[in-house]
Homo-oligomer: A and B are copies of this chain.
C-alpha cells in the first residue's frame, strides 16, 4: 500500500547534490552593483599597497640620523622646509636637520627615512641646529628615531601580483574596498542562476485571498523567494493545476526551459495527490534521492535533468525552509563557483531542555544569541511561527534521546552573509 523509500543521510544527500553542480559562467557588472555577487576570477593586487612609502601620522618627515643623541636634556632642532597634505608630493629633498611637515597618508619626501609624530615635537620659533646655525619655523624632539620608524612602507599591505582573494569569494563590503583600491569599475562575477518556484498543494490560497474552509495561504512560495533574495538571487513564480498530472508536467517542462533550477514545494510525499514522483518519472529526470534521514523534511526529493536541478521540498513550512538552506542554497552557490557554499556552523549551549528523541537527525528552528540557543517555540514540521521567530537551526544528531539545558549543540546560521566551505555534520 505504501511505497518504500530508503532514507539516506543528510551528508550523503548534500554530496549527491553537490556532485551535479554545473557552472553558469560569468559576466561583468559595475562595481556599485557587485555587492553580494561571487567573484569569477581571483582578486589579484594590481599594484603595491601602499603604492609609495607614506606617513601613517600627522607629523614631520626627517632623516633619522639627524635625531641621534636627542634626549630630554638635549633636544634636537629641525627646520621645516616644506608642508604637504596627503596626495601632494614634496618637491624638496630633506637635507641635514631639515623636516617636511606631512599629513597622514602623504608620501614620504625624498631623503627622509622616519616620521616624527606631531605630539612628539615641541614648537620652537627661532632655534639653532646641532651645529649652532640659526634656523626658523622649527621644532625640537627629545628622542632619537630609527630608520623606518613611523613609516607605512610601499607594499606592506599588499604586493603587486599577490592573490588577495580566490575566485569564488563573496563580494562583501570589504571586497568592494579592495576592488575600489585597485581601480575596478567593472567586476567579473558569476552569473546568477534563474530559479523557478512552483508551490503545489490543493489546499493553497494565494496571500491576498480570504481564508476558506480546509485551505491555507501559500507561505512557502514567498518564503523561498525571500530565501533566494537573501542570497542575491531573483525568482520566477509558476502556477499549475496541481491536481492534474498533465498540467503539472507541462508547467515543470516549461519552467525547465526558462530556469536553471526549479524549486517545488509539496507534492513529494506518498499521498494520493502527490504528483511530483510521477512528474520526475515522465520527464525522465535522474532522482538523486527521495528520502533523507532528517526531521523535518524526510520526503525531500532532488532530481536532475539536463544539468538542471529539480528541488522537491516538503510542503510543510519548517521542512521547506530547512530543505532550502541545506540543499538548494549550497547547490545554487556551487553553480556560481562559490567557495563557501554551506551554512555557517557553530556550537552553542542549549538554553532549555529538548526532550524529543528521534532516530533521524533533527533540525530545530531556534533563536541564537551568540552564546546560547533555544528552540523558537512550537516544534512541528508544519509550524510557521518558529521559522518567523528563529534565526538559527539547532542540529541534533539522530539516534539520541533528547537533550538537556547546558548541553553543547551544533548550530547552523543561515543568516550569515557568507557560510562555510566545509560540511561537517
What is the minimal beta-carbon distance from A188 to any residue of chain B, in angstroms? 15
Whether B387 and A174, one on each chain, are in contact in the complex, defined by CB atoms closer than 8 angstroms, is: yes
What is the minimal beta-carbon distance from A75 to any residue of chain B, in angstroms? 14
Whether A207 and B184, one on each chain, are in contact in the complex, defined by CB atoms closer than 8 angstroms, is: yes
Stretch at the interface among A79-87, A256-264, A300-308: A79-87
- Besides the contacts A52-B213, A105-B216, A370-B413, what 6 more A-B pairs have beta carbons closer than 8 Å? A156-B378, A164-B388, A172-B391, A180-B221, A344-B370, A391-B418
User: Out of B49, B118, B417, which one reaches A384, CB within 8 Å?
Assistant: B49
Residues of chain B contacted by A223 (CB below 8 angstroms): 173-174, 176-177, 180
Whether B183 and A208, one on each chain, are in contact in the complex, defined by CB atoms closer than 8 angstroms, is: yes
Whether A56 and B380, one on each chain, are in contact in the complex, defined by CB atoms closer than 8 angstroms, is: yes
Residues of chain B contacted by A270 (CB below 8 angstroms): 58, 118
Given A85-B202, A119-B2, decide whether A211 and B382 contact each other with a Cβ distance below 8 A: no
Quickly give the copy total for this chain. Answer: 2
Q: Is A204 an interface residue (CB 8 A)?
A: yes
Whether B391 and A371, one on each chain, are in contact in the complex, defined by CB atoms closer than 8 angstroms, is: no
> Residues of A with Cβ closer than 8 Å to B?
1-2, 31-32, 35-36, 43, 47, 49-52, 56, 58, 83, 85-89, 101, 103-107, 118-119, 121-123, 152, 156-158, 164-165, 171-185, 201-204, 207-211, 213-227, 229-230, 243, 269-273, 315-317, 321, 344-347, 365, 369-371, 378, 380-391, 413, 415-418, 420
Whether B227 and A181, one on each chain, are in contact in the complex, defined by CB atoms closer than 8 angstroms, is: no
Whether B31 and A207, one on each chain, are in contact in the complex, defined by CB atoms closer than 8 angstroms, is: yes
What is the minimal beta-carbon distance from A20 to any residue of chain B, in angstroms? 25
Whether A177 and B321, one on each chain, are in contact in the complex, defined by CB atoms closer than 8 angstroms, is: yes
Residues of chain B contacted by A229 (CB below 8 angstroms): 35-36, 173
Whether A183 and B204, one on each chain, are in contact in the complex, defined by CB atoms closer than 8 angstroms, is: no
Residues of chain B contacted by A56 (CB below 8 angstroms): 380-382
Whether A164 and B389, one on each chain, are in contact in the complex, defined by CB atoms closer than 8 angstroms, is: yes
**Considering only CB atoms, which chain B residue lies closest to A174 in the complex?**
B387
Residues of chain B contacted by A418 (CB below 8 angstroms): 391, 415
Q: Which of A36, A104, A174, A271 has the most CB of B within 10 A?
A: A174
Whether B202 and A1, one on each chain, are in contact in the complex, defined by CB atoms closer than 8 angstroms, is: no
Given A156-B378, A174-B390, A382-B157, decide whether A85 and B273 contact each other with a Cβ distance below 8 A: yes
Whether A123 and B1, one on each chain, are in contact in the complex, defined by CB atoms closer than 8 angstroms, is: yes
Residues of chain B contacted by A204 (CB below 8 angstroms): 87
What is the minimal beta-carbon distance from A265 to any residue of chain B, in angstroms? 11
**Considering only CB atoms, which chain B residue lies closest to A204 in the complex?**
B87
Residues of chain B contacted by A269 (CB below 8 angstroms): 58, 104
Residues of chain B contacted by A222 (CB below 8 angstroms): 31-32, 176-177, 179-180
Residues of chain B contacted by A227 (CB below 8 angstroms): 173
Whether B321 and A346, one on each chain, are in contact in the complex, defined by CB atoms closer than 8 angstroms, is: no
Residues of chain B contacted by A224 (CB below 8 angstroms): 173
Residues of chain B contacted by A208 (CB below 8 angstroms): 183, 185
Whether A157 and B378, one on each chain, are in contact in the complex, defined by CB atoms closer than 8 angstroms, is: yes
Given A347-B371, A415-B416, decide whether A202 and B388 contact each other with a Cβ distance below 8 A: no
User: Out of B226, B369, B384, B416, which one reaches A35, CB within 8 Å?
Assistant: B226
- State the 6 A-B residue pairs at the shortest beta-carbon distance, nearest first: A87-B203, A415-B417, A174-B387, A86-B203, A173-B226, A346-B370
What is the minimal beta-carbon distance from A380 to any residue of chain B, in angstroms? 7
Whether B106 and A214, one on each chain, are in contact in the complex, defined by CB atoms closer than 8 angstroms, is: yes
Q: List 25 A-B contacts (CB under 8 A).
A: A1-B121, A52-B214, A87-B214, A103-B271, A106-B214, A107-B213, A107-B214, A165-B388, A165-B389, A171-B226, A173-B227, A174-B365, A176-B226, A177-B317, A178-B385, A180-B207, A180-B222, A181-B219, A182-B217, A183-B210, A185-B207, A230-B417, A346-B371, A347-B370, A413-B416
